[in-house]
Structure 1
Amino acid sequence: MLPSFFIAHGAPLLAIENNEYTRFLESLGTKLPKPKAIVLFSAHWESDVQKISNVSEFDTIYDFGGFPEELYQIKYPAKGDSKVSTEIEDLLATEGIPCETNTSRGLDHGAWVVLRRIYSKADIPVISMSVNPSLSPAEQYKIGKSLAHLREKNILIIASGGTVHNLRAVRMDGRTEVDQWALDFDQWLEEKLSSWDLESLFNYETLAPAAQHAVPPFGKEHFIPIYYAMGAADQEKTSILLHRSYRYGNLSHSVWQFGELK
């Protein structure tokens, strides 16, 4: 059985950079059995109703601007898996969770930057999933929990976002020190994730230090994928911080593993 993961996708430049974090992501894929398929919740696909991709082959979406031309030449032509898409529909329906399939959308950079670093060959079927910032954390957690059975079928569940993602606060001055407010928020988060303190996690906006700065209203969609990943490991309720580093003063690159590899 595969764990589920929350993986920060950082800035699009991660697709072409060679640094501590990109090297970690590349090593992660070598440490896991090759999955039958990958189900990925992306912060860059928001919808009011849970969306499930059902495509034969994904286009690559360049949902950013002003970056080097090299980025716009990257392709990640992963294929879909209609059987897994249908199974996800059935699992959500069993829990009374409304959902819709999408047969045309490509992979946004929240998906392909992460996937390309971990599985560069694009030879594993992908099912892309939307996130809904309007739901409560408990509802987001429930969606992930409803898909926990997929892990027993060697299907990898990834939620892509960022624990500290405030683009108005990033610093491009080249200094290496990390802002204390970002460290304080991530430390609080680590404590609550390690103890699986759902009550505190579901109320992070009022309980976590610097919560409004680390997870501003305009960046909430990057934080909430963590609940989808956690829910998929509800039966075990175990978490491991595999990596954490920062860029631009406060943009966090965190990788959390939920559940165990069995």
Structure 2
Amino acid sequence: MIPAYFFAHGAPSLVLERHAYTDFLAGFAGGIARPKAIVLFSAHWERTEQTIGAVDAHETIYDFSGFQEELYRITYPAVGDRKLSENIQALLAKHGIPSGFDGARGLDHGAWAVLKLLYPDADIPVVAMSVNRHLTNEEQYRIGSALAELREQDVLVIGSGGTVHNLRRLNWRAGEADAWAEEFDRWLQGKLEAWDTEALFDYRNQAPYAQDAVPTNEHFIPLLIAMGAGSRNREAKLLHRSYQLGSLSLSCWQFD
């Protein structure tokens, strides 16, 4: 059974960079079984109803500006999987979670920037999933839990976001990680490894520097969803963590 994963996607330029995290992503696929399909929740696709991608082939969305021209020439033409999309809706409905389909939207950079490094040939079907910042943290986790059985079908469930993601706190001259960002991530690591959902759901009140690390929650939501998808054995493992610009965390979590 393939674990569920959370990947930080950093800036769109991640796909053009070369450092420890991109090296980790490039070598990731060799360490797990090849999935039959990928279900990916991106922080950059927000809807008030849980929405399921239902396209035949994905267009590449350039939902950013001011970056290198080369970025706007990158494509990730993965196909969709309508049968899987329907299966996802059935699983969500089974757990009382309403959802709808989107038959037009392609992959935003929260999806393709990571996938391009993980599976550069775009030869695995992808179903994109939205996130809803207005749900409780318990509800985010429950969405992931509803899809946990997809892992038994060799489907790779991914949440793509960032644990410390505050663009206003970026330090363009930083040579090392900011202490406050590391402290938040250490708190998070302890609660994830202990599978302390009570504390995690209340992270805004309990975690140090929570407001600095998570000023808005859309990038944190995919972590909770991925955790929920890996809730069967309740084992969390940090596979990588590094930082850019002082506080932009680049991490990968595995949930078994």
TM-score, structure 2 as length reference: 0.99
User: What RMSD over aligned residues (CA atoms) do the two structures have, in Å?
Assistant: 0.6
Q: Which residue number corresponds to residue 138 of structure 2?
A: 138
In structure 1, distance between residues paired with 2:89 and 2:34: 24
Classify the secondary structure of the residue corresponding to 2:135.
coil
State the 1:224 CA deviation: 1.3
Q: Which residue number corresponds to residue 229 of structure 1?
A: 226
Runs of 4 or more off by more than 2 Å in structure 1? none
State the 1:149 CA deviation: 0.7
Q: Which digits, 9 at most, give the CA deviation of each residue in 1:17-55, with x for residues without a partner?
A: 111110000111111111000000000001100000010
The residue identity in structure 2 corresponding to 1:142 is R
TM-score, structure 1 as length reference: 0.97
In structure 2, distance between residues paired with 1:213 and 1:47: 24
Q: Which digits, 9 at most, give the CA deviation of each residue in 1:81-137, with x for residues without a partner?
A: 011000001000111101000000010000000101000000000000001111001
State the 1:187 CA deviation: 0.3
State the 1:229 CA deviation: 0.3
Q: Which residue number corresponds to residue 23 of structure 2?
A: 23
Q: Which residue number corresponds to residue 242 of structure 2?
A: 245
1:215 aligns with 2:206: no
The residue identity in structure 1 corresponding to 2:177 is V
Q: Which digits, 9 at most, give the CA deviation of each residue in 1:37-79, with x for residues without a partner?
A: 0000000001100000010000000000000100000000000
In structure 1, distance between residues paired with 2:201 and 2:158: 20
- Structure 2, unmatched stretches of 5+, are none
In structure 2, distance between residues paired with 1:44 and 1:232: 20
In structure 2, distance between residues paired with 1:129 and 1:252: 22
State the 1:162 CA deviation: 0.2
Classify the secondary structure of the residue corresponding to 1:85.
helix
State the 1:234 CA deviation: 1.2
Percent same amino acid among aligned pairs? 55
Classify the secondary structure of the residue corresponding to 1:67.
coil
Q: Which residue number corresponds to residue 189 of structure 1?
A: 188
- Structure 1, unmatched stretches of 5+, are none
Q: Which residue number corresponds to residue 251 of structure 2?
A: 254
The residue identity in structure 2 corresponding to 1:257 is Q
